[in-house]
Amino acid sequence: MTTRLQNAFCRVAALIAIGAASMSCYASDDVIPIEKFQPAITVQFAPERPNGWELERPMAAYGMNLFAANVPSYDGRGKLISSWSPQLGKVFDRPTVILVHGGHGVSPANIDMAVWLRKELKANVLILDSYWSRGKSENWLAWTEYGANMRVLDLIAAARFTQSQGADPKKTFVIGGSQGGWTVLRAFSNHNLSSEVKSLLVGGASLYPNCYVKESIFGRSPSGTTDKQFAPPLGNYVAPVIAFTGTNDSATPLSQCNVEKVFKGVEKWTNFEGATHSWDSPSGGIGKPGVDGDCSKALNKYNQFPVCRNNKYTEIMRSDILAFVERHLPRVQ
């Protein structure tokens, strides 16, 4: 029985007094099965130059800690790799932002976002890896066991870790792009782990996210057949979310989404006219002004979609993210 039919049945039962309609009738039947989405952790070090990118030098130049195996996984069977750069002596006082990468793994865009967050928000920043520790470099096919459900468990693990390091959960946010944006939407959707998510995170920003959902037997997968656990429900958010999409995004197009469910329920949704995927790519270099209009092709061998920098949209998006964080920080008494 679907949740909608189950809830309708409960309402009817209550109205005609056929027994008591228990509160459990209205609970979500959406469950993230933990064992299924905790692939083994087999690697405890980051690659030197993932996809040929030089990440360590700019990270060191901007005072960020390098990647290390430091985040205990959700099930406690190993450690995820992350870069954790706290504001020394002010960890609890400052906002904390967890960054979750796209299907290509950690990239210069994640480092560039971290540099900006540390400059503009004076935030504690954790860049979380979900692939390297599992012996993978990418998940370009998306709808696999390395997709949104696994990534939500990793996000919870990262938020537990930042709390253990002194971060205030009431000031902790997540930002993700592409499959990372999908992770944000999935994390705050209503499921069996929602209470833990809400206890650890205030809200999140989802950038150009995957948003295909297999809602019924009529669902159409963009890359072959999937089941509901690999393309899980999105929407009915339990905490504030803002989302950003582009009308010319051929990597995660809105045509694959149930827009009503996925985007109409967020706090703010901005759909940039003419924007491709990853319009905030650091075309000028990490921490430097972007080269407006600079275009390249994605590394994804299944879909080499265009990636074009747009300075205007990047500025608007970042301004909205700053406002979102400020809006949801605890008010000073």
DSSP output for 179-204:
HHHHHHHHHTSSSTTHHHHHHH--EE
Q: How many residues does the chain have?
A: 333
Tokens of 274: 């003419």
Q: What pLDDT is recorded for position 22?
A: 29
- What count of other Cβ atoms lies within 10 Å of the Cβ of residue 94? 19
Instruction: For the chain, give every domain's residue range.
Output: 1-30, 33-328
Name the pTM for this structure.
0.90
Q: Judging by DSSP bridges, how do beta strands 268-272 and 241-246 pair with one another?
A: parallel
Q: What pLDDT is recorded for position 19?
A: 31
Q: What pLDDT is recorded for position 215?
A: 61
The tokens 């694959």 sit on which residue? 256
Q: What pLDDT is recorded for position 172?
A: 98
Q: How far apart (Å, rounded) are the C-alpha atoms in residues 78 and 175?
A: 24
pLDDT band for position 29 (cuts 50, 70, 90) = confident
Q: Which of 139-148, 152-161, 266-275 has the lowest mean pLDDT?
A: 139-148
Is the CB of residue 282 less than 8 Å from the CB of residue 248? no
| Burial label, 164 (beta-carbon count in 10 A; 0-12, 13-18, 19+) | exposed
Average pLDDT estimate for 199-205: 98
Q: Using a pLDDT cut of 70, give the percent of the chain over it.
A: 88
Q: Indicate whether 143 pLDDT > 50.
A: yes
Q: How far apart (Å, rounded) are the C-alpha atoms in residues 301 and 151?
A: 22
CATH architecture of 33-328: 3-Layer(aba) Sandwich (3.40)
- What count of other Cβ atoms lies within 10 Å of the Cβ of residue 330? 9
Q: Where are the alpha helices (DSSP H) in 16-121?
A: 56-61, 108-120
Closest C-alpha among 150, 12, 168, 202 to residue 91: 168
Tens-place pLDDT, residues 238-279:
999 999 999 999 999 999 889 999 998 999 999 999 999 999
Q: What pLDDT is recorded for position 226?
A: 56
Average pLDDT, the chain: 90
